[in-house]
Amino acid sequence: MKFTKYLFTLFLLSLAATVWGQAATAPAPDPAADQLPRLMTYILVIAAAALFIVAMVYVVNINQFLYRRVLDLEASKSGVKLPGETAAAAVPVADSFWTTLRKKYWEDAVPIEREHEILSHHDFDGIRELDNRLPPWWVNLFLITIVWAGIYMYYYHWGGNGPSSTEEYKMETEQAQKQQTAALAGIANDVDESNVVALTEGGALGEGELIFKNTCAACHGQLGEGTVGPNMTDEYWVHGGGIKNIFKTIKYGVPDKGMIAWQSQLSASDMQKVASYILTLQGTNPPNPKAPQGEIWKGEAPADSTATPAPQTGTGG
Amino acid sequence: MSRIEQFQYDNRIVRAFGMATFIWGVVGTLVGLTLAFQLIYPELNLSQTGIPYLSFGRLRPLHTNAVIFAFIGNGIFMGVYYSLQRLLKARMISDALSWIHFWGWQAVILCATFTLPLGITTSSEYAELAWPIDILITLIWVVFGINMFGTILKRRESHLYVAIWFYIATWITVAILHIVRSIELPYSLFGSYPLFVGVQDALVQWWYGHNAVAFFLTTPYLGIMYYFMPKAANRPVYSYKLSIIHFWALIFIYIWAGPHHLLYSALPDWVQSLGTVFSIMLIAPSWGGMLNGLLTLRGAWDRVRQDPVLKFMVVAVTAYGMATFEGPMLSVKSVNAISHFTDWTIAHVHVGALGWNGFLTFGVLYWLWPRMYRTPLYSVKLANIHFWIGTLGIIFYAVPMYFAGWTQSLMWKEFTPEGTLAWGNFLDTVTQIMPMYAMRALGGTLFFVGVCIGVYNLIKTAGQGSFLSNEAAEAPAREPRPVSTAGQYWHRWIEQRPIQMLLASAVLISIGGIVQIIPMVFVESQVPKISTVKPYTPLELAGRDIYIREGCVGCHSQMVRPFRSETARYGEYSKSGEYVFDRPFLWGSKRTGPDLQREGGKYPNSWHYNHMIDPRTMSPGSIMPQYPHLADNELDLSELPAKISALRRLGTPYPAGMEERAITDAQQQAKKVAGKLKEEGIKDEGMETKEIMAIIAYLQRLGTDIKVEPGGR
B403 to chain A: closest CA residue: A19
- Dihedral in degrees, nearest 10, Cα atoms A251, A257, A258, A261: 10
Name the strand (E) or helix (H) holding B12.
Answer: helix B12-38
Contacts of A135 (CB under 8 A, 6+ apart): A106, A107, A108, A109, B239, B242, B291
Pick from B541, B557, B176, B637: which is nearest to B345 by CA?
Answer: B557
Cis peptide upstream of residue B641 (ω within 30 degrees of 0) = no
Residues in chain A within 8 Å Cβ distance of B284: 138-139, 141-142, 145
SS3 content of chain A, % helix, strand, coil (to 5): 55, 5, 40
Round to the nearest angstrom and report the end-to-end CA distance of chain B. 83
Burial class (CB in 10 A: 0-12, 13-18, 19+), B130: buried
- pLDDT on residue B590: 96
Q: pLDDT band at residue B648, thresholds of 50, 70 and 90?
A: very high
How far is CA B266 from its chain centroid?
22
pLDDT over 70 at B619, yes or no: yes
- pLDDT on residue A69: 79
Min CA distance, A3 vs chain B (Å)? 19
- Range 137-166 of A in CB contact (< 8 A) with B: 138-139, 141-142, 145-146, 148-149, 152-153, 156-157, 164-166
Burial class (CB in 10 A: 0-12, 13-18, 19+), B319: buried
From the candidates A62, A153, A228, which should be mutated to test the interface with B, based on the most B CB atoms within 10 A? A228
- pLDDT on residue A13: 59
pLDDT over 90 at A300, yes or no: no
B295:A129 CB<8 A? no
Q: pLDDT band at residue A22, thresholds of 50, 70 and 90?
A: very low
Q: pLDDT band at residue B362, thresholds of 50, 70 and 90?
A: very high
Helices (H), B523-657: 538-549, 564-569, 605-613, 615-618, 629-632, 640-650
Tell me which of A265 and B133 has the higher pLDDT: B133
Spatial distance between the Cα atoms of A53 and A43, rounded to a whole number of angstroms: 15
Spatial distance between the Cα atoms of A67 and A85, rounded to a whole number of angstroms: 13
Burial B605-641 (b: 16+ CB within 10 A, else e): bbbbbbbbbbbebbbeebbbbbbbbbbeeebebebbb
Min CA distance, A299 vs chain B (Å)? 26
- pLDDT on residue A95: 78
- What single DSSP character describes residue B69? I
- Touching check for A188 and chain B: CB below 8 Å? no
CB B173 within 8 A of CB B505: yes
The pair phi, psi for residue B473, each rounded to 5°, is: -150, 165
B82 to chain A: closest CA residue: A125
A128 to chain B: closest CA residue: B236
- pLDDT on residue B205: 97
Stretch B591-612: mean pLDDT, rounded?
A: 92
- Range 288-307 of A in CB contact (< 8 A) with B: 290-291
**CA angle B210–B211–B213, rounded 5-degree value:** 75
CB B238 within 8 A of CB B292: yes
Q: What is the pLDDT of residues A214-257, one digit of tens each?
A: 788 878 888 888 877 889 998 889 888 889 999 999 988 886 67
Beta strands in chain A (DSSP E): 236-237, 295-296
Residues in chain B within 8 Å Cβ distance of A218: 607, 618-620
Q: In terms of residues, how long is chain B?
A: 713
B277:A153 CB<8 A? yes
CB B55 within 8 A of CB B555: no
pLDDT over 60 at A65, yes or no: yes
Q: pLDDT band at residue A192, thresholds of 50, 70 and 90?
A: confident
Tell me which of A213 and B219 has the higher pLDDT: B219
- pLDDT on residue A241: 87
Q: How many CB atoms lie within 10 A of CB B428?
A: 15
Share above pLDDT 70 across residues of chain A, in percent, rounded to a whole number: 75
- Touching check for B301 and chain A: CB below 8 Å? yes
Spatial distance between the Cα atoms of B609 and B571, rounded to a whole number of angstroms: 23
- What single DSSP character describes residue A296? E
Residues in chain A within 8 Å Cβ distance of B679: none
- pLDDT on residue A164: 93
- Touching check for B407 and chain A: CB below 8 Å? no
B607:A24 CB<8 A? no
CB B61 within 8 A of CB B121: yes
CB A232 within 8 A of CB A281: yes
pLDDT over 60 at A21, yes or no: no
**CA angle A264–A269–A270, rounded 5-degree value:** 65
- pLDDT on residue B384: 97
Min CA distance, B84 vs chain A (Å)? 10
What is the CB-side half-sphere exposure of residue A99 using CA atoms within 13 A?
5
B272 to chain A: closest CA residue: A165
- pLDDT on residue A86: 47
Tell me which of B84 and A104 has the higher pLDDT: B84
Mean of pLDDT over chain B: 94
pLDDT over 60 at B546, yes or no: yes
Spatial distance between the Cα atoms of A16 and A54, rounded to a whole number of angstroms: 13
Tell me which of B503 and A204 has the higher pLDDT: B503
Q: What is the pLDDT of residues A79-108, one digit of tens each?
A: 766 555 444 544 556 778 888 888 888 888
Q: pLDDT band at residue A36, thresholds of 50, 70 and 90?
A: low
**CA angle A193–A194–A199, rounded 5-degree value:** 65
Residues in chain B within 8 Å Cβ distance of A183: 417-419
Min CA distance, B243 vs chain A (Å)? 9
- Range 535-564 of B in CB contact (< 8 A) with A: 562-564
- Touching check for A172 and chain B: CB below 8 Å? yes
Between the alpha carbon of residue A76 and those of residues A99, A109, A241, B304, B454, the distances in Å are 28, 24, 95, 22, 39
Contacts of A173 (CB under 8 A, 6+ apart): B564, B567
- pLDDT on residue A32: 44
Residues in chain A within 8 Å Cβ distance of B281: 142, 145-146, 149
Stretch B11-17: mean pLDDT, rounded?
A: 97
- Touching check for A88 and chain B: CB below 8 Å? no
Q: In terms of residues, how long is chain A?
A: 317
Q: pLDDT band at residue B151, thresholds of 50, 70 and 90?
A: very high
How far is CA A287 from its chain centroid?
43
How far is CA B659 from its chain centroid?
35
- Touching check for B272 and chain A: CB below 8 Å? yes
Spatial distance between the Cα atoms of B104 and B193, rounded to a whole number of angstroms: 25
Stretch A254-261: mean pLDDT, rounded?
A: 75
Spatial distance between the Cα atoms of B586 and B591, rounded to a whole number of angstroms: 12
- pLDDT on residue B294: 94
How far is CA B187 from its chain centroid?
25
- pLDDT on residue B166: 98
Task: Region of A169 please: left (phi>0), alpha (psi -120 to 50) or beta.
Answer: alpha
Q: pLDDT band at residue B100, thresholds of 50, 70 and 90?
A: very high
CB B676 within 8 A of CB B605: yes
Q: What is the pLDDT of residues B180-197, one digit of tens each?
A: 999 999 999 999 999 999
Spatial distance between the Cα atoms of B238 and A264, rounded to a whole number of angstroms: 60
The pair phi, psi for residue A164, each rounded to 5°, is: -80, 170
Stretch B38-65: mean pLDDT, rounded?
A: 95
- Touching check for A23 and chain B: CB below 8 Å? yes
Residues in chain B within 8 Å Cβ distance of A20: 329, 335
Q: pLDDT band at residue B587, thresholds of 50, 70 and 90?
A: very high
Residues in chain B within 8 Å Cβ distance of A165: 264, 269, 272, 562
- pLDDT on residue A309: 41
Spatial distance between the Cα atoms of B436 and B456, rounded to a whole number of angstroms: 30
Tell me, what's the ipTM?
Answer: 0.93
Round to the nearest angstrom and report the end-to-end CA distance of chain A. 78
Stretch B20-48: mean pLDDT, rounded?
A: 96
DSSP track, A10-77: HHHHHHHHHHHHHHHHTT-S-TTTTHHHHHHHHHHHHHHHHHHHHHHHHHHHHHHHHHHHHHHHHHHH
Share above pLDDT 90 across residues of chain B, in percent, rounded to a whole number: 89
Pick from A278, A214, A215, A205: which is nearest to A243 by CA?
Answer: A278
Q: What is the pLDDT of residues B262-294, one digit of tens each?
A: 999 999 999 999 999 999 999 999 999 999 999
Residues in chain B within 8 Å Cβ distance of A27: 334, 337-338, 413
Share above pLDDT 70 across residues of chain B, in percent, rounded to a whole number: 99
Min CA distance, B57 vs chain A (Å)? 24
Q: Which domains does chain B have, with CATH numbers?
A: 8-464+491-516 (1.20.210.10), 538-707 (1.10.760.10)
Spatial distance between the Cα atoms of B191 and A243, rounded to a whole number of angstroms: 54
Stretch B316-325: mean pLDDT, rounded?
A: 96
CB B192 within 8 A of CB B639: no
Spatial distance between the Cα atoms of B291 and A49, rounded to a whole number of angstroms: 17
Q: What is the pLDDT of residues B478-493, one digit of tens each?
A: 888 887 877 788 899 9
From the candidates A56, A165, A238, which should be mutated to test the interface with B, based on the most B CB atoms within 10 A? A165
Min CA distance, B563 vs chain A (Å)? 6
B237:A179 CB<8 A? no
Pick from B207, B203, B200, B202: which is nearest to B177 by CA?
Answer: B207
Q: pLDDT band at residue A58, thresholds of 50, 70 and 90?
A: confident
pLDDT over 90 at B199, yes or no: yes
Min CA distance, A160 vs chain B (Å)? 13
Q: What is the count of residue pairs from A and B with beta carbons less than 8 Å apart?
A: 231
What is the CB-side half-sphere exposure of residue A19 using CA atoms within 13 A?
13
Stretch A49-56: mean pLDDT, rounded?
A: 86
CB A52 within 8 A of CB A75: no
